[in-house]
Structure 1
Amino acid sequence: MLIYANPRHAAHDGRQEMFRGKLVPCHEVPARLEHVLAELGRRPLGEIQAPPPVPRALLEAVHASRYLRFLETAWDDWVALDPANAALDALPSVWPVRGFRADLEPDNFAARLGLYSFDAGTPLTAGTWAAAEAGAACAAAAATAVTGGARAALALTRPPGHHAGHDFFGGYCFVNNAAVAAQALRDGGARRVAVLDVDYHHGNGTQSLFYERADVLTVSIHGDPRTEYPFYLGHADETGAVHGLGCNLNLPLPAGTDFAGWRQALGTALARIAAFAPDALVVALGVDTYEGDPISRFRLASDDYLRVGAEIAGAGLPTVFTLEGGYAVAAMGVNVVNVLEGFEAAAR
């Protein structure tokens, strides 16, 4: 397996996030990826390399250009307000809700920060843009490798991406790596691409990006949005719109779901993907379905991830993996590498 690791991921290192009325230490930390790298050192699965730069045109095919410009300049604008801000993360505190205008970009930094975000739990730091851009480069490189004939490739990166939409960040995500990979596969000649999101939290950004398109099928297995973040998308009746009608499948599951119940949903997901007959598959690989995850409520054990990888390999498709959530930090490496090892063993 080809593995593209983000050399700049640690530049994004949030201090705090807002949770239930107070600032708490961030769950999304650099150690998450370092544990995966350490486990790959113990169980090597392929060459680990840095990616080439991501084409700006590819980023702009996924995200609004004004949103990307905001991310590029946000930290400098934040510090320009007050040099003391260099010691703080930027967190939004005001948002344009229903009926408010979002077409005009405000001059006020706090207003711009709110315009482009949907929660107060995603700190923007000095290195956020560098890390997010390099992460997208990993996704693009992995897609290019698969287009070139590789059976599978991994974008080993953070921050994660699947909550980021056309012009918004949130859920620890700024650039949607799974969507970048899917678009790169399409640009590389794939007629149809499927995205399978196995993170505990619904990939609301990915769904919204492809919801009206017929060339990309989005499938997500996740916690029920009536009780689980990100709440406002992910219901089973969301099936796509316009040209994309029928090209979105949500499989929400109740808190406490064990591997037997989760695996049944995976079977449904893979059957829908097979019926779509894509040329390639993108897996948004979150392992916050783990029984020990501190912010999620499924009950998969570490050994279950070997079976997850094997069953995804059974789809028989060229596959790009993008690293998403997983906040039981010490178990992150074992769980991610178990998925990849299970996939590789079954794909031989």
Structure 2
Amino acid sequence: MRVVYDPRHVFYSPKNELNGFNMVENRDKPGRIERIKEIIQLKYGNIIVSSKDFPRSYLYFVHSSDYVSWLKEKQYTLENNQEYFPRVFGYDMCMDTKTPISKNTFEMAWISAKCALTGASLLLEGEDLIYSCSRPPGHHAGINYCGGGSYFNNAALATRYLQKTGDIYVAVLDLDFYAGNGTQDVFYNDNTVLTVSIHGNPSNHYPYISGFEWEIGENEGKGYNVNFALKDDINGRIYLRVLEKALLEIEDFDPDFLIISFGSNTHKDDLTTTFNLEDEDYKDMGEMISYLNIPKLIIQESGFNSQSTEKIIANLFDGLII
């Protein structure tokens, strides 16, 4: 196992987010990744590798040139310590008003993406299990928009990087509480990528407009997008039964690589979400995933409770490394 980490993520420090009409403190703090890195080092020793550099043109594997230019140019209009809150579609290329842009957002999102791309490159070099300490998250970013604190879609970029080497099939499993709407958007018409997401019902939870069970893909991608939208207050037993169904879908697809967008916000102690998974459920989750004999890249998404996250990550890898 290798863990990809870039210390420059600490310079991504958003101060606020706009929740409806209220300005509240942004919960994405650098400490959440720093604590994960410390826990992994204590358990497994020196398995940390630095992110590599890549041509910025790789962003266009996934995102439109208009969107990339918009995000880059928007940050250049800002002063130090200034935060801009997008005014959603029709004015800005963003799906919500709570995804702040600051003077270094573009560069910080690109560093996060490079961690994921580095993980993909290590898979191609023969590694079987990689964890990418990506921050900010990425799975809500679509082809031509940001949202949900996501600017570039790390999982999608890693997928396209793997596929540029040849006839490669990839499964993307999203285990964040919130639906991976951006990843779904990128691959909705693609039969070379299976996207599977287990999440809270979007009738009640972000992103509200996507992640429903009837969204199964279109054109060549029809049947290659699977959403498991779950009720509030479910426990680990129910979640793991759904995960078993998701893993069967992946096994049937028989991909060359598995990318997991992992959020630690499904835990009972995460007060912003409504699932009730216990610490030990994540070890079971890791064990179930480990039975898929496929090289795996795990990319960190959301999960802002550092105390629960350190236990979750420790248990997840105890299950994965059996």
* Deviation larger for 239-248 or 31-40: 31-40
Mapped partners of 2:165, 2:294: distance in 1? 15
Mapped partners of 1:283, 1:11: distance in 2? 25
Task: Output the amino acid matched with 1:53.
Answer: D
Q: How much has 1:167 moved relative to structure 2? A: 1.1
**TM-score, scaled relative to structure 1:** 0.89
Mapped partners of 2:220, 2:158: distance in 1? 21
Find the counterpart in structure 1 of residue 82 from structure 2.
88
Which of 124, 127, 137 lines up with 1:147 in the alignment?
124
Task: Output the amino acid matched with 2:271.
Answer: P
Mapped partners of 1:225, 1:186: distance in 2? 30
Q: How much has 1:78 moved relative to structure 2? A: 2.6
Q: How much has 1:208 moved relative to structure 2? A: 0.4
Find the counterpart in structure 2 of residue 248 from structure 1.
225
Find the counterpart in structure 2 of residue 258 from structure 1.
235
Indicate the SS of the match to 1:87.
coil
Task: Output the amino acid matched with 2:305.
Answer: A
Q: How much has 1:171 moved relative to structure 2? A: 0.6
Which of 178, 181, 199 lines up with 1:204 in the alignment?
181
Q: How much has 1:94 moved relative to structure 2? A: 4.9
Task: Output the amino acid matched with 1:19.
Answer: N
Q: How does 1:126-137 map to 2 (within 5 A)?
A: 126-137=103-114
Q: Check whether the contact 1:16–1:123 (CA below 8 A) recurs between aligned residues.
A: yes
Q: Check whether the contact 1:10–1:131 (CA below 8 A) recurs between aligned residues.
A: no
The C-alpha deviation readout for 1:295-343, integer Å capped at 9, x for no partner, is 1110111221111111111111100111001122222222123212311
Q: How much has 1:169 moved relative to structure 2? A: 0.6
- Please list every run of 5 or more consecutive structure 1 residues that lacks an aligned counterpart in the other structure: 80-85, 97-110
Q: Check whether the contact 1:36–1:334 (CA below 8 A) recurs between aligned residues.
A: no
Structure 1 residues 66, 337: CA separation in 2 closer, same or farther (over 3 Å shift)?
A: farther
Mapped partners of 1:255, 1:15: distance in 2? 29
Q: Does 1:22 align with 2:22?
A: yes
Find the counterpart in structure 2 of residue 307 from structure 1.
284
Task: Output the amino acid matched with 1:15.
Answer: K
Find the counterpart in structure 2 of residue 173 from structure 1.
150
Q: Check whether the contact 1:140–1:180 (CA below 8 A) recurs between aligned residues.
A: yes
Find the counterpart in structure 2 of residue 10 from structure 1.
10
Q: Does 1:75 align with 2:75?
A: yes
Indicate the SS of the match to 2:317.
helix
| Relative contact order higher in (CA < 8 Å, ≥ 6 apart) | 1
Which of 211, 220, 223 lines up with 2:197 in the alignment?
220
Write out the 4+ residue segments of structure 1 that deviate beyond 4 Å after TM superposition: none
Task: Output the amino acid matched with 1:88.
Answer: Q
Find the counterpart in structure 2 of residue 163 from structure 1.
140
The C-alpha deviation readout for 1:70-101, integer Å capped at 9, x for no partner, is 2223222133xxxxxx33311113532xxxxx
Indicate the SS of the match to 2:44.
coil
Q: How much has 1:29 moved relative to structure 2? A: 1.6
Q: How much has 1:178 moved relative to structure 2? A: 0.7
Mapped partners of 1:215, 1:46: distance in 2? 35
Q: Check whether the contact 1:135–1:158 (CA below 8 A) recurs between aligned residues.
A: yes
- Please list every run of 5 or more consecutive structure 2 residues that lacks an aligned counterpart in the other structure: none
Q: Does 1:191 align with 2:185?
A: no
Q: Check whether the contact 1:238–1:248 (CA below 8 A) recurs between aligned residues.
A: yes
Q: How much has 1:46 moved relative to structure 2? A: 5.3
Structure 1 residues 289, 220: CA separation in 2 closer, same or farther (over 3 Å shift)?
A: same
Q: Check whether the contact 1:6–1:158 (CA below 8 A) recurs between aligned residues.
A: no
Which of 298, 310, 313 lines up with 1:336 in the alignment?
313
Task: Output the amino acid matched with 2:5.
Answer: A
Q: Check whether the contact 1:224–1:235 (CA below 8 A) recurs between aligned residues.
A: yes
Indicate the SS of the match to 1:250.
strand
Q: How much has 1:183 moved relative to structure 2? A: 1.0
Identity of aligned residues (%): 31
* Deviation larger for 1-10 or 284-293: 1-10
Find the counterpart in structure 1 of residue 214 from structure 2.
237
Task: Output the amino acid matched with 1:122.
Answer: T
The C-alpha deviation readout for 1:211-233, integer Å capped at 9, x for no partner, is 00010000000000110111100
Mapped partners of 2:45, 2:153: distance in 1? 25
Find the counterpart in structure 2 of residue 103 from structure 1.
none
